[in-house]
Amino acid sequence: MLSQQIINGITIGAIYALIALGYTMVYGILKIVNFAHGDIFMMGTFFGLFILKYFNAPFFLAFILSALFTALLGMVVERLAYRPLRFTDRIVPLISAMGVSIFLVNLAQLVWGTETHPFPKVFPIKTYTFNGMTISSIQILILVLSVILMIGLHLFVTKTRIGTAMRATSMSITNAKLMGINTNFIIAITFAVGSALAAAAGILVGIYYDAVYPTMGYTAGLKAFTAAVLGGIGNIPGAMAGGLLLGITENLGAAYISSQYRDAIAFIILIVVLMVKPTGIFGKKEINKV
């Protein structure tokens, strides 16, 4: 049924969007793709799992704590793997990102093993049916939390002093410095916020799919990156829209064409959109003045 597929699509799309925001914010400022972001998402999921399982923390406390730890991890990654390469060619931090990605996957395997872990049952699963459509309590949780986080991010970026400085820095690091903005601090905050959102997405994915494993960041990362590019990389509302669009079309494709092609559909959409509008849905044309 169509509306059912759309609901499922929005659910997973909201998660893609949360992860995509991290890619797009970092790209917006540094013009690099943080290919380790998918693995930061994975680490966030494990942090959540760990805190819930071993400390028996209440759900929302665990949610906040793992977001904090993951934010810290994102800042450490920026400090160690990207900042020393700030003034090199753009390809160099890309390779560094791959290194971080491999490191994090191996670290997770070392600490938590290579097997798939179930996620602690912290949230009562109920399903509600109306008009033949089912929606679970988990889906509602995902939708509500992602909407809150996205509105929060929007307010942070558009209304606060630091958020405005973040946008200014993404337009020109040099001119931002001339305002007295400590751009290194702003960049660190950007990594922190993006990583915290990835951790939130990670916990929601953990609850939704009940499967946590060290290589889970790979596909999720690729999909979210696709969502960011779809929406126009560097553009925050674009990442949100791109995530939802990707989630919905992917689900419709899986339902009406073939579920085996689910992942292929995501990339077909990407290729088509990029052929029609290379800058993505919300992307602006870059004008290079000579």
Applying CB under 8 A, the residues found at the interface with another protein are 161, 164-165, 167-168, 171-172, 174-183
Nearest-approach distance from CB 187 to another protein, in angstroms: 13
Give least dist CB 36 to another protein, A. 27
Of 5 and 24, CB closest to another protein: 24
Nearer to another protein, 136 or 184 (CB): 184
Contact at 8 Å (CB) between 186 and 166? yes
Residue where the block lists tokens 């730890």: 69
> What is the separation, in whole angstroms, between the first and last Cα of the chain?
53
Q: Nearer Cβ to another protein, position 92 or 162?
A: 162
Instruction: Give the residue carrying structure tokens 């942090």.
Output: 47
Beta-bridged to residue 133, according to DSSP, are 130
Q: Give yes or no for a contact between 162 and 185, defined as CB atoms under 8 angstroms apart.
A: no
Q: How far is the CB of 167 from another protein (least distance, A)?
A: 6
Please say whether the dihedral angle defined by the alpha carbons of residues 32, 184, 237 and 210, taken in this order, is positive or negative: positive
For another protein, which is the closer residue by CB, 165 or 269?
Answer: 165
Nearer Cβ to another protein (276/287): 287
When the beta carbons of 164 and 249 are compared against another protein, the nearer one is 164
- Residue 266 CB burial class (10 angstroms; 0-12, 13-18, ≥19): buried
The strand pairing partners of 128, in sequence order, are: 135
CA distances from 113 to 23, 80, 187 (A): 27, 25, 33
Give CA–CA dist 3/83, Å, rounded.
46
Nearer to another protein, 91 or 178 (CB): 178
Residue 277 C-beta: closest distance to another protein, Å: 19
Length of the chain: 290
As measured in angstroms, the least distance from the Cβ of 110 to another protein is 38
Cβ proximity of 114 and 214 under 8 Å: yes
CB of 177 to another protein, least distance (A): 4
Q: C-beta of 170: minimal distance to another protein in Å?
A: 9
Q: What are phi and psi of 117, to 5 degrees?
A: -100, 140
Which of residues 48 and 232 has its CB atom nearest to another protein in the complex?
A: 232
Exposure of 290 by Cβ count < 10 A (0-12 exposed, 13-18 middle, 19+ buried)?
A: exposed
* Min CB(185)–another protein separation in Å: 9
| Identity at 219, one-letter amino acid code | T
